[in-house]
Amino acid sequence: MEQQLGKNIANRRHELNMTQQQLAELSNLSINFISRLERGGS
């Protein structure tokens, strides 16, 4: 389930032409967290 969530987030981010850095700033999360989430890590 976590992997699917990460894939969905990555797909939507790409649709919006956003970088992980931009998403991290908008969501007030770290870029490392975004990266791990998209890869399916915990």
Q: What total of structural domains would you count in the chain?
A: 1
DSSP 7: H
Residue 41 or 4, more confident = 4
Q: Give pLDDT tens digits for 10-29.
A: 999 999 999 999 999 999 99
Q: Tokens 């915990």 identify what position? A: 42
* Domain extent for 14: 2-39
Residue 16 or 42, more confident = 16
- Confidence at 3, pLDDT banded by 50, 70, 90: confident
Q: What is the pTM of this model?
A: 0.83
End-to-end CA distance of the chain: 12
Burial profile 18-36: b = 16 or more Cβ within 10 angstroms, e = fewer: eebeebbeeeeeeeeebee
- Confidence at 42, pLDDT banded by 50, 70, 90: low
pLDDT score, position 38: 94
